[in-house]
Each structure stands twice: as C-alpha cells, then as structure tokens.
Structure 1
Amino acid sequence: MTQDTTSAPRVVRATTMPADAPEVAVAIVGAGACGLTTAIRLRQAGIDCVLLERDALPSGSTALSSGLIPAAGTRLQQSLGIDDSLAMLAEDIITKTDGEAPAHLVQAYVAAVPQALDTLESLGIAFEVQDGFLYPGHRVRRMHGVPEHTGAALMAALERTATGLGADLLTEALVREVWADDNDRVIGVGYQRPDGSLEHLACRAVVLACNGFGGNADMVRELLPPMADAAFGGHVGNDGSAIAWGRGLGAALADLHGYQGHGSWITPQGALMSWATIMEGGIQVNARGERFQDESQGYSEAAVHVLHQPGSVAWEVFDEALLPLTRSFPDFVPAEAAGALKRADDVAQLAAIIGCDEATLQATLDCVDPARPDPLGRRFKRRLQAPYYVVKVTGALFHTQGGLDIDAHCRVRRADGSVLPNLLAAGGAARGVSGNDAWGYLAGNGLLSAVGGGWVAATTLIEQLQA
C-alpha cells in the first residue's frame, strides 16, 4: 500500500506489479449493470473476477435510470406472444441513427442481450415487459425491467446475483491507474481507498465498465460542446477515466458527439419525468406558450431543443387522463411531493402558471387535433382536456454514448484497427450504438450496451482465458 500522489487517472508503464499486489484473472472497473453482467457471465464459467467500485454501494448510471433493457426474442417476450426478432431490433436501432450506428456492435449486442436476460431470469431475477405504450422508435413491446420499475432495483438484483455466484466486490475502490507493459498488455490496476492510500491488483485482463465522461465538465466542453451548459442528470462516476486511460495506451475514440440527453428533466427539483406522458399525448410549450418540436421523435434529441428555448426551459402540459401514467413512475413521486406538478382548471390558469399569452396558448392547444397532423408533423390520438397539469422542465445530459473504439468482441482498438492485447471495454466506457449525435439515441440503448456489452466482453474473455 502506498500514498496516492495524484487523483487523475493515468497509465503506469511497468513489467511487473508491486510485490504485495494480489492477483485475479479479471479486474472489472465499475460495478454498474455492465460490470455486474460481465461478472455473472465469468463466474458461471468458473473464472475469478474482482469488481472495483468507486462508491460504497454500486449504483452508476443504471441506478438513476428506469432500468429498462430492450431485447428481442427473450423467453419472456415469446411467452407473451410478442412478435419480434433480432433483425427487427437491429433495424430499429440503425434506423434511429440514419444508418450511422456501428453495425458490428449493433449485431453483437442485439444477439447477446436476450442470452443475458434469459440467463438472469434463470438465476432468479424477475423481469416484466413494459406494457401500455411504446417508446419512440420501437415497433413492438420489448423493454424489459424488474417489477419495481427502477434502475436501482435492477442494480440490487444484479449485485445479489453476481456476489451469489462468487464474484468479489470491492467498494470504495476508485481505480486511478492502469498498469501496462511496453507492448500495451495490461498487468493490473491501482485503486484509491477512502483514506487516500493506493492499493494494487494484478490481473490477466481488464474490463473497463466505468461509464462515460458526462460528469467531467472539462471533457464535455472539449468533446461535446453542445451540452456544455446542460444540467447533468447522470452519475458522478462518469468522469472520463476510460478515455484518459485509452489515450495513454494509444486507443482510438469514436462517436464522441453521441449522448443520451433528456428533454424532460424537472426543474428546479432535479428529477426525471418519463417521456411516456409525452408519447401518450402530452406536449411541451415554451415560455411563449408555443410548441417548438415534434416531441414524438425522442427524448434524447429533445434536450437540445428545450435548451434553445427562452430561459432554457419548457413546460410539459398534459391532462387528467395522463395523470395516473405519470404518477406510475417512481422518479416522479418525490418531484410531485416537492411541488413540481401544477394544476390548471382552464387555459387562463394554465397561461398564468406558464406566464404566457392566453390566446397564444389556446391556439397551441387547438392544434392538438386527432383529425390532422399538427404544423410540426406530429399526429395525436385525442385532444387535451381541462383540467390541465403542467411541469416545468429543462434539457439534461444523462450519459455519453461515445468513448473507446471497440470491435465486435469488445476489445479496445488502436487507431490502426489493431486491438490491445487484453483490455476490453463496454457500456459507457466504449462507443455505443447511437451514432454520433443525440438524435441517434433509441430508448434503452444505454442499458443495451451495458448488458449486451458486458455479456460479449465476458464471452470474449472466457474464450481467451480457457483456451
């Protein structure tokens, strides 16, 4: 054990690890959904692994999400008679990005995620397929989540399963160093403990499952300038460590302008409002009482549209019929208790809450007409009816979708296309399947990359370590 002299992530060049460093087959940096899935797959194959988690309790971006994982062809989906296929899901992902999604990762993740979910279900994790509405861009019901409908509950289930299979979980272990020899073969990691001391772990391979760079303000300004001033609704662990280590090892980066934003971040309470309310007929208006986008296109690209409005805010307007759906999402409950939800008995009261002209707002509501598309091209199922409900929102950055370039086996690539010998990355640490902009994000792509990528990375290591 040594005293840490720097808190910045770095690559240490060496041929051997410190003599007192214990050794494990695989070190997994990050115990989010990606890392835990990797550990579960490795332990089923009898491979030892250690999960190194910076927090006292594993959480990450997954715990802040609704925990929904898109998958096609699972046993659960088939039992419900849902007609879906790997090809359909892959097509929906690629269509959302206008063909920009990396095809090799789309195919790998789409094939892996139903294997992962079926295995997790067989290990005792209960899943449900989200019912009642379709997320934008998905043709069928394929969003799988645990019964509690929260990412935190999903994380708890994954952690129980991984540790129950014998994966070692080391919390409050903030990885700061990746050790590698002159041939770029990783030989171990160094991690900081709460008292500032630095401990080491030798290993035969490393999986970077440690999120993206959305929480690193300097890196966001450098690599993702459109979201430099956005609220950050993600986890502090998104500090860009994987990119720093990758740069130190000569790794290529890809899709750095890709990210998952959200146009429905409740302000000032700081909570997520599900886009389901929008998809079932709610609208967004700006401070002038005007709509400014076709909201049905997706919540990720909506973030920038909201940020471009006066004051960088919008007002989400819906009615009594949508109130039960809105309240069914656990994230909304504390926000409502904190005063986020306002009621208006008529348009005049609604205009007063928003601070806009009543006639302008009335004209906006009149365009919500199921008989014809509105001027922005959106089609509605029905009109909104008084009483109205309204929530003030802004645009937020949740997590980045770009990062280390990887091949179809989650091996980190150099700029010339060659792969680093034993460094793998998945989830937020690597490029995802959303292309190179916010509008390419299809609902659930983050957890698709985390769970599917974790499964692929573990499969790759099983083949390498058992060869």
Structure 2
Amino acid sequence: MSPRVSREAPPRLDVETDVLVIGAGACGLVAALKARDAGAEAIVVERDASPTGSTSMSSGFVPAPATRFQRAIGVADDTPERFAADIMAKSKGKSEPALARLAAKTIGPALEWLSRAHGLEWLVLDDFLYPGHSRHRMHAVPEKTGEALLARLIAAAEAADIPIVTEARATTLFANEGNRIEAVEVTRPDGASEIIGCGALVLACNGFGGNRELVAKFIPEIADGLYYGHEGNEGDAVLWGEQIGAELRHLSGYQGHGSLAHPHGILISWALMMEGGFQVNTQGQRFSNEHGGYSEQAVNVLAQPGGIAWNVYDDRLHRFAQGFPDYCDALDVGAIREGESVAGLAAVIGLPADALAETFAEVARCQRGETADPFGRDFTGKPALAAPFYAVKVTGALFHTQGGLMINDDARVLDTEGHAFANLHAGGGAACGVSGPEVSGYLSGNGLLTAIAFGYLAGSSAAARKAP
C-alpha cells in the first residue's frame, strides 16, 4: 500500500500514545528515549520483524565536537563552530547553514546524554583522521559497528519500557484541516490494520534509497548503481511530505561509497586510502584523487570499465585494517588478495603487470616528493608501500539519500511557506540532511550525525507537544 495522507477523521483509535515514532533505527530510538525522559509516553512502530535498517548496516561512527570523550584522548580544542565549518567546507557551502549549525551544536550533548542517562559507552577513533574532519571527533561504541550501536539503543529502549511494535508498516497519516497529525494507521503482514492516536508524530523512517523510481527521478547519476542500504527505505516520509505540503530540499543529495567489496557486498574502510593505499581500474591505472572523499568516489568508480576498481595497499595497511570488523569479514570470505610483489599481485588479480608496475612507480615518486600527483593528492605524509601487497575488488554504491523534509530548530517539519507543522517532526534520513545537494557534500558520519542529533531534538519537542 502506498503511503497516503487522509483528511478524514480516523474511524477509530485502537491505541493512543503521547508520541508515536515511525522507524526503529538510531533516529527513532533516540527520539523515543528523549521523549520518554521528558515524561511522555512513546511507542515506536517498525515495518520489519526486527529492527535493522540503515543504522545496523552503517559503520556506527558518529562525529561530535567538544565531548568529554574527545577530551579523554587529548582533543580539547574542537568546537561546534569548527565542526559546522568542516560540514560547510565539504559541501562547498551548499549545505543548509542553519541545519549544519543545529546538528553540530546538538550532537555532542546528545551523545553525552545517551552515555549519562542510558549507559551507552563511547570511544573516539584517533588512529586516522576521517576525510574532511579537522579534528579527531568520530565516536563509536566499543564494538565499532552499526549493528552494535543499534543493539545498545534497543536495549536502552527496552530498559525504559518503550514498546517497539514490529511488523507494523505505517501506511496512512490522518491529518486534520490544521495539518495536525491525529493518528497513524499501521498495516500488518496479514493485511490487518491498527490505528494509533498520537499527540505528536516523529518520522524516523529514513530516505528513499530503496525506491528505484524516486532515485531515478531525483538522483539519476546513481540510478544504475548498486544500492547498499535497507530495502525498506522507500521514501515514505518524502511521499507523505509531498501530500501534506511540506518543504522538501536537497533530494539530489546522497551518500555514496567507492569501496564496497564486489561481489561480496562488504564495506572496506576508506582508512586504507587515507593511510597510503590507492585505487586502480581494470587497466591498472589510477583515475582520481582518493582523498577527495569516499562518497563522491562512488561515481568515480562506477565510471571505470565495468564499474569496478581495486583497492591496492601493503602489509602495514593490511594489518591496520584488521582493526575494523568489516575488513575481517572480507578477509574471512576470501575477498582480500595477496601478492609477494607487484608482478605477483597483478597476476593474482588479473591486471596488466606493466601498467600496475608503472602506477606503483608513479605513486612512489609522488610519495618521495619527486613529482606532483596529476590528480592533486599529497602522498608525502605516509610511508612508502612495501611488499607484500594486497588488493580487494570494489564497486561504487548508493548508501542512503540525504535530502528530505525541511525542519526547524526543534525538528518540526516546515511547510512550503516556512511555517512549522503543529506536531509533525522528522530526523535522520527522513529530514533534509547537512550534505547539500551533491554526492561530494557528504562528510564522513553525516548520516548518523543527523539521525541522533535530530532524533534528540524531535523527541524533546514531540514530548512538549504531546497534547493538542
């Protein structure tokens, strides 16, 4: 059933709650926890049999400035203003400035609150600096995976007695003449339905990466690329927004990734590139500045013959990468290939030996400072690659969309005239993000940044508006 908005009064109310949240990912669970802490009753509805979604498929890394977790590792000079400037620099000034500032100032307090009130442990990754970030500010739970982050949020919701109703797809919003959301109808797999009355509604159902029609319409450059996201991200929030008269912005923005192991579908950390590795196409040649960013690299990789590239690196980086669970998974399934020499590596991965040798030689010259990289990358700050060498075949992919419903400072959705809806909120992929309208605007961690920061704001605001 297509998502729809009904202007009729709900025919009945099977259940009522102060705050109803659609989507049990990071955004939805944070919103429900914040609403519950503010004294409101909250219910989360989730279309799947168990919550998974984009959060569990992500790296689980959350950028945040000025936290005590940063200070614990000696990062004492990061600020929301510095972080917002990094966000704007990555998008070349095309992000919504108000949203960038809002996310940057909110995310630190949100992570501190999750730790203090709900026991989430955070550590700051300082083994390398993520592309576009001027300080070490990437936070993760100890397991360093999105799956573990989601599990901890689910446990926190269960401890707070927040019902998470699974196998319940929200299909209809009931909105009165004043655009107040009065109830939501959810449909079960067997066709049965329930209508839940709500004082406030939070849309935390992510973006539209799983809707090929919407992707082709708004992001044609990646329409033929692999989608590495949750298939349930079908654009429900966007479709509801269009019907209710919400402002939609930056629908052409998205996070791509140029390093998805092929055909295994395992994310290979971009840390390999940042620490000295490089990418070649099937002709054994480099084709871009790998330090430009992993999001826009998706387009660069897909432009190569067959939409394929090889990540090439050495034993130092191979050992370093084993600190990332996804890389260990790729190693276990045989995605990582090894060669004792450049010629040996070329033979193992089926690339022209002479071309690959020349690429290695050119990278070495750049690393020694003897010549400038034609793509503009600075190789001089990292050690030269040394045998044995490693490689993994990768492709480019769409991870998740970044455009959506425009929100104000308390995460309430705005209409096309800039007025806030009375009790409709959005966060994460359902809301307009902070990456701007292009793939190159995505700064590492922007997805979970807006999921948690805007979910935090939405939960607090929804609790305050729980009654008409």
What is the TM-score when the length of structure 2 is the normalising length?
A: 0.96
Q: 2:79 aligns with which of 82, 85, 92?
A: 85
Q: Equivalent residues in 2 for 1:143-158 (5 A)?
A: 143-158=138-153
Residue 111 of structure 1 aligns with an amino acid whose one-letter code is K
Contact 2:410 2:461 in 1 (8 A): yes
Q: 1:294 aligns with which of 289, 295, 310?
A: 289
Alignment-derived partner of residue 354 in structure 2: 359
Contact 2:83 2:104 in 1 (8 A): yes
Q: Equivalent residues in 2 for 1:55-94 (5 A)?
A: 55-82=48-75, 83-94=77-88
Deviation at 1:355, TM superposition (A): 3.2
Contact 1:14 1:182 in 2 (8 A): no
Residue 14 of structure 2 aligns with an amino acid whose one-letter code is A
CA distance in 2, matches of 1:253, 1:136: 28
Alignment-derived partner of residue 18 in structure 1: 11
- 1:172 pairs with 2:167: yes
Alignment-derived partner of residue 248 in structure 2: 253
Contact 2:252 2:403 in 1 (8 A): yes
CA offsets 1:321-355 (integer angstroms, 9 cap, x no match): 01122222112223222221111111222222343
Alignment-derived partner of residue 42 in structure 1: 35
Contact 2:176 2:182 in 1 (8 A): yes
Alignment-derived partner of residue 179 in structure 2: 184
Contact 2:200 2:463 in 1 (8 A): no
CA distance in 1, matches of 2:115, 2:204: 22
Alignment-derived partner of residue 465 in structure 2: 464
Contact 2:301 2:308 in 1 (8 A): yes
Alignment-derived partner of residue 46 in structure 2: 53
- 1:408 pairs with 2:403: no
CA distance in 1, matches of 2:362, 2:383: 11
Q: Bigger CA drift: 351-360 or 191-200?
A: 351-360
CA distance in 1, matches of 2:413, 2:13: 28
CA distance in 2, matches of 1:79, 1:148: 19
Alignment-derived partner of residue 273 in structure 1: 268
Alignment-derived partner of residue 29 in structure 1: 22
Contact 1:109 1:456 in 2 (8 A): no
Give the direction of change, closer, same or farther, for the CA distance of 1:466–1:89 in structure 2 (3 Å limit). farther
Contact 1:52 1:169 in 2 (8 A): yes
Deviation at 1:466, TM superposition (A): 7.9
Residue 28 of structure 1 aligns with an amino acid whose one-letter code is V
Contact 1:288 1:355 in 2 (8 A): no
Give me the identity figure in percent: 46
Q: Secondary structure at the match of 2:264?
A: coil
Q: Secondary structure at the match of 2:135?
A: coil
CA distance in 1, matches of 2:74, 2:338: 40
Q: 1:109 aligns with which of 103, 107, 118?
A: 103
Residue 89 of structure 1 aligns with an amino acid whose one-letter code is F
Deviation at 1:262, TM superposition (A): 0.3
CA distance in 1, matches of 2:420, 2:13: 30
Deviation at 1:377, TM superposition (A): 1.3
Contact 1:271 1:335 in 2 (8 A): yes
Q: Secondary structure at the match of 1:424?
A: strand
Q: Secondary structure at the match of 1:215?
A: coil
CA offsets 1:53-80 (integer angstroms, 9 cap, x no match): 1112212111001101000111211232
Q: 1:333 aligns with which of 328, 331, 349?
A: 328
CA distance in 1, matches of 2:137, 2:222: 30
CA distance in 2, matches of 1:105, 1:229: 30
CA distance in 2, matches of 1:63, 1:156: 8
Q: Secondary structure at the match of 1:331?
A: helix
Alignment-derived partner of residue 99 in structure 1: 93
Alignment-derived partner of residue 3 in structure 1: none
CA distance in 2, matches of 1:408, 1:43: 20
Contact 1:287 1:354 in 2 (8 A): no
Q: Equivalent residues in 2 for 1:229-248 (5 A)?
A: 229-248=224-243
CA distance in 2, matches of 1:177, 1:29: 12
CA offsets 1:81-111 (integer angstroms, 9 cap, x no match): 2021111111111110111111111111111
CA offsets 1:129-171 (integer angstroms, 9 cap, x no match): 0121011011111111000010011001111112212322111
Deviation at 1:20, TM superposition (A): 4.1
CA distance in 1, matches of 2:401, 2:198: 28
Structure 1: which 5+ residue stretches go unaligned? 1-6
Q: 1:120 aligns with which of 110, 114, 136?
A: 114
CA distance in 2, matches of 1:445, 1:421: 27
Structure 2: which 5+ residue stretches go unaligned? none
Residue 24 of structure 1 aligns with an amino acid whose one-letter code is T
Q: Secondary structure at the match of 1:384?
A: coil
CA distance in 1, matches of 2:344, 2:72: 48
CA distance in 2, matches of 1:332, 1:260: 20
Deviation at 1:184, TM superposition (A): 1.6
Q: Bigger CA drift: 457-466 or 83-92?
A: 457-466
Q: Equivalent residues in 2 for 1:289-328 (5 A)?
A: 289-328=284-323
Contact 1:70 1:144 in 2 (8 A): yes
Q: Secondary structure at the match of 1:41?
A: helix
